[in-house]
Amino acid sequence: MNLKGWIECDGVRLMPNAVERMLSEEPEALTRCGGEFLLTWDNCTARDAFGIMPGPVPPGTVCCNGREAARIAPDPAPCALEEAIVTAIGLRSDEGVVAFSGGVDSALIAAFAGLPCVAVGLHGSHDAVWAEKAARMMGLDLEVVTPTVDEVAEVLARVVRVIPDPENPVEASIATTLFFVAAWAAEHGHTRILAGQGADELFGGYARYLTSSDLAAELEQDYADHGRQRARDQAVAARHGTYFSMPYLDLRVVRAARAIPAAERVRGGLRKRPLRAVAQRHIPAEIARAEKKAMQYGSGIWRTIQQLARTNGYKKSVQGYLTEISRAEHDY
């Protein structure tokens, strides 16, 4: 048996020997298990229900001898949003590091996880400054990675080799930021990186939601599209033997969040209202209420990529620059 990630049943983490015993004595029990995992044994492969862990079989399937043998469909007891978040983070906090920006998503994870934190931001960038301030307010163990322009150029060239859409400027800039997080985690002996992915889509975090003509439909569409983002992020993490763990995409949290009407998630000019309400009970109100730029902007990575594009003769087209380095890297 080979297990990448972790498995739980009804809120209890299963140690590898317990998983082996289950597969030997009651293999059908795996279909009721949650977690973030890619599990192989004999001629079978199983992958977690949401497909958080990358793998060669579709999300939520057990495949044996090349054929689908069962579906994985955990069904934990319903619970309120706060309990769901606490449980989801607790299940993931026995090992790892928190990808921290000082925003409400990562700050709430950090508050419950009790793990080391890492932030990425060029010297003087918004995220570098704010993450340090937030960490001091919360008493967190934080390391800030401050890449240079040359390091961003080097990492960007490596990122375009592995992400699904290498010529998309937004995708490439996010992946470059996460590359530094994954590299730091690996250098410090961690394989799991707790991150806030999914919170924007579940709770209404994007600025465009404030003016949406059909918020419910837009939230649904963005949530359904999140698998593409996960593929990008995990491709970057895999380069370092790490993976991103996503508490907000725990089934308990997803159920609790989606039960809240869309109009309550974004209201009165405030995004992610339900998440902020939970956060204000556990982290400083200034952090819980603060609006924050997306990671590629707040970290300064996006501006640096623009600068690199101009330096290399692409004054108006970052995409043109990415196309050039993508082709060069794939030819290499």
CA dist., res. 6 & res. 110, Å (int): 19
Contact 59, 234 (CB under 8 A): no
Give the mean model confidence (pLDDT) for residues 170-178. 95
Give the mean model confidence (pLDDT) for residues 294-312. 93
Taking the domains of the chain in order of start, what are their residue ranges? 2-71, 81-298
Percent of the chain past pLDDT 70, that is, above it, reads: 98
pLDDT band of 54, cuts 50, 70, 90: very high
Is the per-residue pLDDT at 302 higher than 80? Answer: yes
Q: What is the pLDDT of residues 65-81, one digit of tens each?
A: 999 999 999 999 999 99
Determine the Cα angle at 295 with ends 219 and 124, to 5°: 155
Q: What is the pLDDT at residue 313?
A: 92
* Mean pLDDT of the chain, nearest integer: 94
pLDDT band of 124, cuts 50, 70, 90: very high
Q: What is the pLDDT of residues 180-230, one digit of tens each?
A: 999 999 999 999 999 999 999 999 999 999 999 999 999 999 999 999 999
Q: What is the pLDDT at residue 193?
A: 98
CA dist., res. 281 & res. 276, Å (int): 9
Is the per-residue pLDDT at 331 higher than 80? Answer: no
Cα–Cα separations (whole angstroms), residue 3 to 6, 15, 40, 100, 194: 7, 10, 7, 27, 18
Which residues, 6 or more positions from 116, have their beta carbon under 8 angstroms from its beta carbon? 97, 98, 141, 142, 143, 188, 190
Is the per-residue pLDDT at 149 higher than 90? Answer: yes
Give the mean model confidence (pLDDT) for residues 34-39. 98
CA dist., res. 257 & res. 36, Å (int): 19
Give the mean model confidence (pLDDT) for residues 71-96. 96
CA quadruple 148, 152, 158, 159: dihedral, nearest 10: 140
Beta sheet of 97-99, edge-to-edge order:
142-145, 117-120, 97-99, 192-194, 243-245
CA dist., res. 234 & res. 18, Å (int): 27
Q: What is the pLDDT of residues 269-279, one digit of tens each?
A: 999 999 999 99
Is the per-residue pLDDT at 105 higher than 60? Answer: yes
Q: What is the pLDDT at residue 330?
A: 56
Give the mean model confidence (pLDDT) for residues 17-31. 95
- Topology of 81-298 in CATH? Rossmann fold (3.40.50)
Give the mean model confidence (pLDDT) for residues 24-32. 94
pLDDT band of 317, cuts 50, 70, 90: confident
Q: What is the pLDDT at residue 329?
A: 58
Q: What is the pLDDT at residue 293?
A: 84
Determine the Cα angle at 192 with ends 166 and 49, to 5°: 75
pTM of the model as a whole: 0.94
Q: What is the pLDDT at residue 220?
A: 95
Contact 164, 232 (CB under 8 A): yes
Q: What is the pLDDT at residue 294?
A: 86
Contact 163, 152 (CB under 8 A): no
